[in-house]
C-alpha cells in the first residue's frame, strides 16, 4: 500500500492544464494501477472531473460497452448544407429538457444492464424524444430499444454492439414499437433485461446477457397488435463532424445519438467534465446528447456536451448524466452523430403514457 501511494504521488504531482493533459499520454505505470489507487491518481493529475472508485468498475464497464469496430462505420446519408439554416443564433448553453418541458422522455434515464446494447438504447431514446418534439408535445411514448436490439437484421451483433445509423434506418423502413423499462406493462416491448443494481430480480450474469430473440408480437395483455403499435421515421442521417451543425440540429429537431471511444478512466467517472488522456481502448459507447455549456475550471471556461447515459440513475452526476469535452472531437464524440426526422401520426394513434423515471 505504501508503494502504491508513493507511485500515485510521483505520477501525479499537480493537476495539469487542459493542453498538458491532452498532450501527455497516461504513464504506463498508471495503467497498471487499479481500484482506489487509479481513482486517486486521476484526481491528483487533473481537475476536470472527479473520479470515484467502485468495486468491479472496469468489469462492469467492459460488459456495457460495445466492440470498437462499430465506431468505424462511415455509411449513411450525410446532412447537407442546403438543409441547414445558419441564421439562428446559438446560445452559450442549451438544455433540451428546458426547451421542450412537455417531452419528459428527454430526461428519462434508461438502464441497459449487462449488455452492449447502448447503440439500440440511445437510438430508441432519441427517436422517442424527437417523436415528442416533432409532434409538438402531443405524442409522449418510449420507443422500444429491445425491438431494435432483437429485430434489426443488419444492425450488428446485438449485445456485442451495433450501428446507430442502421438502427435509425430500421426505424425509417420497418418502424419501432413502444417500450419502456424492464417489467413495465403498458407498452408493447419493454426492455429485455433487469437492472443489475436491483438484486430482487436475481443476480446478473458474470458476462453479458445473450441477445434476445426477435418476437414480432407485443407482450401478453397489451392492448395493441405489434404492427399497429409502430412509429416510423421519415429520414435517417449523419451530421457532419462540426460543432455548429450538431448544436443547430439539437436546437431545432431534438437530441441526437452519438458514439465515442471508451478508456478505463471513464469507469471511474463521478461528476464534472470528462477529459481523458487515453490509455488502452476498451470499446465504444453510444449515448444521447441533449445540450451543451461551459464550466469554469482553473480560471478557464471548459466547453462540454451534456449527455444522458443509459447506465441507470445511480451512475454519474445528477442521476444518470455526464459531461464531456466539446469542440475537439474528444474520444471521437463528434465524429459519428446520428439523427432523423419523424413521420408524425395523428395524436389519436399515440401509444401508452410515458412512465415516470424511478428514483435513484
Active-site positions read: 118, 285, 309
Separation CA 70–CA 259 (nearest Å): 9
Hey, how many other C-beta atoms are within 10 angstroms of the C-beta on 346? 9
- The residues, ordered by sequence, that sit 6+ positions from 16 with a Cβ below 8 Å of its Cβ are 24, 45, 46
The neighbouring-strand residues paired with 292 are: 94, 305
Q: Any residues with CB less than 8 A from the CB of 322 and at least 6 apart, and which?
A: 269, 274, 307, 309, 316
Alpha-carbon torsion, ordered 211, 216, 218, 224, to 10 deg: 150
138-176 core/surface letters (b: 16 or more CB in 10 A; e: else)? ebbbbbbbbbbbbbbeebbebbbbbbbbbbbbbbbeebb
Q: Say which residue the cell 423502413 belongs to.
A: 173
Task: Output the CA torsion sign for 88, 92, 96, 102.
Answer: negative
Number of H helices, E strands in the chain: 10, 11
Nearest partner of 312 among 188, 194, 186, judged by Cα: 194
* 260-279 burial: b if 16+ Cβ within 10 Å, else e: bbbbbbbbbbbebbbbbbeb
Angle between helices 35-45 and 2-11 (to 10 degrees): 30
Amino acid at each position: 500500500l505504501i508503494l502504491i501511494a508513493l507511485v500515485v504521488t510521483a505520477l501525479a504531482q499537480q493537476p495539469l492544464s487542459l493542453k498538458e493533459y491532452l498532450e501527455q499520454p497516461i504513464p504506463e505505470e498508471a495503467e497498471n494501477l487499479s481500484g482506489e489507487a487509479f481513482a486517486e491518481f486521476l484526481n491528483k493529475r487533473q481537475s476536470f472531473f472527479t473520479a470515484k472508485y467502485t468495486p468491479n468498475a472496469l468489469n462492469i464497464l467492459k460488459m456495457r460497452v460495445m466492440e470498437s469496430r462499430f465506431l468505424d462505420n462511415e455509411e449513411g446519408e450525410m446532412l447537407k448544407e442546403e438543409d441547414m439554416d445558419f441564421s439562428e443564433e446559438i446560445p452559450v448553453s442549451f438544455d433540451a429538457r428546458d426547451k421542450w418541458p412537455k417531452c419528459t422522455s428527454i430526461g428519462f434515464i434508461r438502464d441497459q444492464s449487462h449488455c452492449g446494447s447502448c447503440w439500440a438504447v440511445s437510438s430508441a431514446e432519441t427517436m422517442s424524444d424527437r417523436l415528442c418534439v416533432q409532434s409538438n408535445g402531443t405524442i409522449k411514448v418510449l420507443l422500444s430499444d429491445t425491438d431494435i436490439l432483437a429485430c434489426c437484421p443488419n444492425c450488428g451483433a446485438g449485445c456485442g454492439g451495433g450501428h446507430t445509423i442502421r438502427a435509425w434506418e430500421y426505424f425509417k423502413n420497418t418502424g419501432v414499437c413502444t417500450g419502456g423499462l424492464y417489467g413495465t406493462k403498458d407498452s408493447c416491448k419493454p426492455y429485455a433485461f433487469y437492472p443489475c443494481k436491483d438484486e430482487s430480480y436475481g443476480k446478473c450474469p458474470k458476462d453479458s446477457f445473450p441477445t434476445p430473440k426477435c418476437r414480432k408480437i407485443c407482450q401478453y395483455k397489451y392492448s395493441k397488435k405489434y404492427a399497429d403499435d409502430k412509429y416510423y421515421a421519415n429520414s435517417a442521417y449523419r451530421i457532419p463532424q462540426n460543432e455548429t451543425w450538431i448544436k443547430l440540429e439539437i436546437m431545432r429537431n431534438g437530441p441526437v445519438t452519438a458514439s465515442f471511444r471508451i478508456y478505463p478512466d471513464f469507469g471511474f467517472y463521478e461528476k464534472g467534465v470528462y477529459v481523458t488522456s487515453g490509455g488502452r481502448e476498451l470499446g465504444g459507447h453510444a449515448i444521447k446528447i441533449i445540450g451543451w455549456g461551459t464550466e469554469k475550471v482553473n480560471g478557464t471556461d471548459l466547453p462540454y456536451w451534456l449527455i444522458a447515459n443509459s447506465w441507470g440513475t445511480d451512475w454519474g452526476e445528477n442521476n444518470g448524466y455526464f459531461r464531456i469535452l466539446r469542440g475537439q472531437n474528444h474520444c471521437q464524440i463528434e465524429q459519428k452523430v446520428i439523427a432523423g426526422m419523424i413521420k408524425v401520426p395523428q395524436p389519436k394513434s399515440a401509444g401508452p403514457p410515458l412512465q415516470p423515471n424511478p428514483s435513484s
